[in-house]
Amino acid sequence: MDGINQKTYAAFSVVQHYAQLKLLQPAEEKILELFRDRWSSMKMLDLGVGGGRTTQHFAPVVAEYVGIDYSAEMVAACQKRFAASPDLRLEVGDARDLSRFEDNSFDFILFSFNGIDFVSHSDRLKVFQEIRRVGKPGGYFFFSSHNLQGLEREFDLRKHLSLNPITTYVNLVMFTILRLINRSFTLEQLKASSHVIVSDESHNFRLKTYYIRPEAQIQQLAPNFSEVKVYSWKTGLQITREDELRSNSDMWLYYLCVIQ
Ligand SMILES: C[S@@+](CC[C@H](N)C(=O)[O-])C[C@H]1O[C@@H](n2cnc3c(N)ncnc32)[C@H](O)[C@@H]1O
């Protein structure tokens, strides 16, 4: 999956797309606000920085900012976007190998907009270990990941029917492509899984994307992080109740964790 994803993130149209994004997602705004009194003393690492959507919001408020991305094309676009700030560290680098950074280097590590979902399961666990190593104990890791419960909804034909025939038509076309491309998976298999890797509609099905159930994500974080809080990407509200978490079908969720 890694080669396909890395190639997609190097593609001109994909780089152009991320290079023009500006707005923070509601959950990211929430965190920006939550830490407003602390940013000025924090050293931040922005993993999978892409075209710099988050750079423009976080770099001006933190004490030190480093952004890395494994796509040299993304980093070049990001450097061009922030050419007026030559002191910003924007470098080509892979989240699976953070060996360029010393242990306990960062107060806040961000992997926004599901960037972690484009590596294999074993590499994902490696990324978490690396983040723990380069993060300061008591520091924070904030990231989002695709929600398998949201994907279940996409796999369910009944959820695509609407009173508007045009909406139903468009939904059914996308549903058919999704199911054909991922024909090795049935809805029942998704329901029985804690995580899966599928091709979803983003960037025209050119990515292999990891989806995980929120409860499984919290368990997966336990060896390296504590005090995990989950936020709806859409509303920015924290999801505190277990039943709410189990029934949530946002396509992705944000997780704020304390580094152990
Ligand atoms: C969905 S884009 C998000 C870009 C940007 N963070 C934003 O929010 O607009 C995911 C980014 O993660 C990067 N990425 C994926 N896997 C990575 C890895 N293992 N190491 C570094 N960057 C990675 C991709 O190249 C891509 O730029």
- Atom 27 (ligand 1) nearest CA: 50
In angstroms, what is the span from residue 68 Cα to ligand 1's centroid?
A: 9
Confidence at residue 88, expressed as pLDDT on a 0 to 100 scale: 92
Confidence at residue 158, expressed as pLDDT on a 0 to 100 scale: 87
* Cβ-proximal residues to 246 (8 Å cutoff; 6+ apart), any chain: 149, 214, 215
In angstroms, what is the span from residue 216 Cα to ligand 1's centroid?
A: 22
The neighbouring-strand residues paired with 229 are: 256
Confidence at residue 1, expressed as pLDDT on a 0 to 100 scale: 75
The angle subtended at Cα 217 by Cα 214 and Cα 222, nearest 5°, is 135
Nearest to 238 by CA among 23, 21, 33: 33
Confidence at residue 247, expressed as pLDDT on a 0 to 100 scale: 96
- Atom 13 (ligand 1) nearest CA: 48
Q: d(Cα 239, Cα 66) in Å, to the nearest integer?
A: 30
Confidence at residue 198, expressed as pLDDT on a 0 to 100 scale: 96
Question: Is residue 141 in contact with ligand 1, taking CB distance under 6 Å?
Answer: no
Residue 108 · residue 258 · CB < 8 Å:
no
Which CATH number fits the domain 2-147+212-259, given the four candidates 3.30.1330.10, 3.40.50.150, 3.40.980.10, 3.20.190.10? Answer: 3.40.50.150
Residue 246 · residue 217 · CB < 8 Å:
no
pLDDT along the chain (260 residues), means of 10: 91 98 98 98 98 98 98 98 93 98 98 98 98 98 98 91 89 91 94 96 93 98 98 96 96 98
Closest approach atom of ligand 1 to CA 123:
19
Question: Which sequence spans correspond to the domains of the chain?
Answer: 2-147+212-259, 150-198
- pLDDT tens digit string along 106-126? 999 999 999 999 999 999 999
- Atom 24 (ligand 1) nearest CA: 48
In angstroms, what is the span from residue 243 Cα to ligand 1's centroid?
A: 31
What single string gives the DSSP state of each residue in the chain? -HHHHHHHTTSHHHHHHHHT--PPPHHHHHHHHHTTTTGGG-EEEEET-TTSTTHHHHTTTSSEEEEEES-HHHHHHHHHHTTT-TTSEEEE--TT--TTS-TT-EEEEEE-TTGGGGS-HHHHHHHHHHHHHHEEEEEEEEEEEEEHHHHHHHH-GGGG--SSHHHHHHHHHHHHHHHHHTTT--HHHHHT-SEEEE--STTTTT--EEEE-HHHHHHHHTTTEEEEEEEETTT--EE--HHHHHH---SEEEEEEEE-
Confidence at residue 86, expressed as pLDDT on a 0 to 100 scale: 84
